[in-house]
C-alpha cells in the first residue's frame, strides 16, 4: 500500500476479491458523493472514516439528526458539537463577511418563504419589512446593529394593512410561520450578532438537529449552506481547491423528492450545482433512494450498501448504471460492504470498509 497517498487522498477500504486499497483524491470530493444503504449497513461507519481523514485537510460541517457524529469527539478533540436546540446562537439576518447585506436579505427571505411554503406575496412582504429595518439601522451604510428574527416579527405585526385584504392574509401566514420558528428555541434566534461562523469554516463542526421540526431543520441546513456559498462568493474564492465538506446523514430531509410546483425547485437544488465552484463538496447519505433528483444528477461517486426496498434498489441501480446481476448482488452484501461505480476509472467493484475504531 502506498501510504504516502494519505496526504492527497482518502482511504475508503479495500477492493473485495483483491487486496487493493481504495483511494479517493481530495479534489474529487468537490463532485459530491451519494451514499445509500439501509440502517446498520455501514453508511455512518464509512462517513466516520472520510470525516476523520478530511478533518485534517479542510473544514467539515456535519448536519446530524441522530447524534451520530458527536462520537467522533473520542478521536478528534478539536471538533465542535453544537446542539441547535440548546447551545447555538446565530442571527439569520446577519450577512456573511464580504457579502452585500441587501443580497443577503434577498437570499434569506426567499429561502425562508420557500422552505415554509409561502408564496410570492409573503416573500415580497418579508423582504420589504426586512429591507426597511436594514435601512433604518444603517446596515447598508456599514452598520452592524442587525435586527433579530424577533424584531423582524414585531415589524411584520406592526405593518398597517387593510383588514381582510390579501396582504393581511399573507401577513397572517408569515406571522404564523414566525411564531412556530421563534417558539422552537428562543435563544437560537435572540441575538443581533451570533456565533462567528467565519472562524468555524475551517473546523470540524457537528450541527445537531435532533428535536427540531423538519421545516426548522431544513431551514437551518439551507441557511448555513447559503451562508458558506455567500461567504465564498463574496470573498471571490472560486477554484478546484477543496475548502469545505458538508455531510448530510438522513439526506431526505433536505433533498426531499416532493416539490411544490407553485414554489419551483427546492433551494438546495441550486446549491448542489453551484457549491462545487466555490470549493464545497457534499456527502449525502440516506436509507432510501427516494431523494430529489438533483443529488443523483450532481453526485459523481455513488456508493450503494444493502438497501431494504426493491424500489430503492431499482432507482439506485439505474442511477449507477448497474446491470441486473450487479444490482441483485446487493442482497448478498455484508455489513461494511458496498457496490461502487467509479466513473473516473470506469469500473464497478465491491468496497470493503473496516470498522471505525469507536467504542
Binding interface with other proteins (CB under 8 A) = 1-2, 5, 9, 15-18, 20-25, 323, 325-326, 329, 339, 342, 345, 347-350
Closer to other proteins by CB, 4 or 78: give it.
4
Closer to other proteins by CB, 156 or 322: give it.
322
Closer to other proteins by CB, 3 or 39: give it.
3
Closer to other proteins by CB, 192 or 326: give it.
326
Q: How far is the CB of 323 from other proteins (least distance, A)?
A: 7
Other C-beta atoms lying within 10 Å of the C-beta of residue 106: 15
Rounded CA separation 200/55 (Å): 12
Q: How far is the CB of 342 from other proteins (least distance, A)?
A: 7
- What the block records as the C-alpha cell of 178 is 414566525
Q: How far is the CB of 326 from other proteins (least distance, A)?
A: 5
Closer to other proteins by CB, 24 or 127: give it.
24
Query: 59-64 and 244-248 as β-strands: parallel, antiparallel, unpaired?
Result: parallel
The greatest distance separating any two alpha carbons of the chain, rounded to the nearest whole angstrom, comes to 74
Residue bearing cell 456573511: 96
Closer to other proteins by CB, 183 or 324: give it.
324
Q: How far is the CB of 8 from other proteins (least distance, A)?
A: 9
Q: How far is the CB of 18 from other proteins (least distance, A)?
A: 4
Closer to other proteins by CB, 56 or 347: give it.
347
Q: How far is the CB of 281 from other proteins (least distance, A)?
A: 17
Q: How far is the CB of 345 from other proteins (least distance, A)?
A: 5
Amino acid at each position: 500500500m502506498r501510504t504516502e497517498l494519505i496526504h492527497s487522498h482518502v482511504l475508503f477500504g479495500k477492493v473485495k476479491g483483491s487486496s487493493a486499497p481504495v483511494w479517493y483524491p481530495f479534489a474529487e470530493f468537490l463532485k459530491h458523493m451519494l451514499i445509500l444503504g439501509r440502517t446498520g449497513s455501514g453508511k455512518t461507519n464509512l462517513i466516520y472514516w472520510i470525516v476523520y481523514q478530511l478533518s485534517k485537510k479542510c473544514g467539515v460541517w456535519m448536519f446530524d439528526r441522530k447524534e451520530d457524529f458527536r462520537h467522533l469527539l473520542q478521536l478528534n478533540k478539536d471538533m465542535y458539537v453544537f446542539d441547535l436546540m440548546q447551545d447555538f446562537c446565530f442571527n439569520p439576518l446577519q450577512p456573511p463577511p464580504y457579502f452585500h447585506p441587501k443580497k443577503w436579505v434577498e437570499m434569506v427571505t426567499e429561502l425562508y418563504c420557500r422552505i415554509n411554503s409561502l408564496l410570492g406575496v409573503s416573500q415580497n412582504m418579508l423582504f420589504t419589512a426586512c429591507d426597511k429595518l436594514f435601512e433604518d439601522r444603517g446596515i447598508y451604510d456599514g452598520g452592524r446593529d442587525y435586527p433579530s428574527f424577533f424584531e423582524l416579527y414585531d415589524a411584520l405585526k406592526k405593518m398597517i394593512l387593510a383588514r381582510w385584504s390579501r396582504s393581511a392574509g399573507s401577513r397572517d401566514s408569515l406571522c404564523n410561520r414566525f411564531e412556530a420558528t421563534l417558539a422552537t428555541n428562543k435563544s437560537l434566534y435572540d441575538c443581533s450578532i451570533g456565533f462567528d461562523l467565519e472562524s468555524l469554516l475551517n473546523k470540524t463542526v457537528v450541527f445537531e438537529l435532533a428535536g427540531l421540526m423538519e421545516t426548522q431543520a431544513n431551514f437551518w441546513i439551507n441557511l448555513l449552506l447559503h451562508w458558506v456559498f455567500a461567504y465564498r462568493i463574496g470573498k471571490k474564492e472560486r477554484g478546484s481547491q477543496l475548502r469545505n465538506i458538508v455531510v448530510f446523514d438522513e439526506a431526505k430531509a433536505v433533498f426531499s423528492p416532493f416539490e411544490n410546483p407553485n414554489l419551483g425547485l427546492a433551494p438546495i437544488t441550486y446549491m448542489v450545482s453551484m457549491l462545487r465552484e466555490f470549493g464545497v463538496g457534499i456527502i449525502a447519505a440516506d436509507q432510501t433512494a427516494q431523494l430529489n433528483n438533483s443529488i443523483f444528477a450532481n453526485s459523481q461517486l455513488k456508493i450503494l450498501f444493502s438497501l431494504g426496498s426493491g424500489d430503492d434498489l431499482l432507482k439506485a441501480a439505474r442511477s449507477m448504471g448497474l446491470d441486473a446481476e450487479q444490482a441483485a448482488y446487493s442482497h448478498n452484501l455484508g455489513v461494511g460492504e458496498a457496490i461502487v461505480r467509479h466513473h473516473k476509472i470506469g469500473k464497478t467493484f465491491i468496497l470493503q470498509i473496516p470498522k471505525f475504531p469507536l467504542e
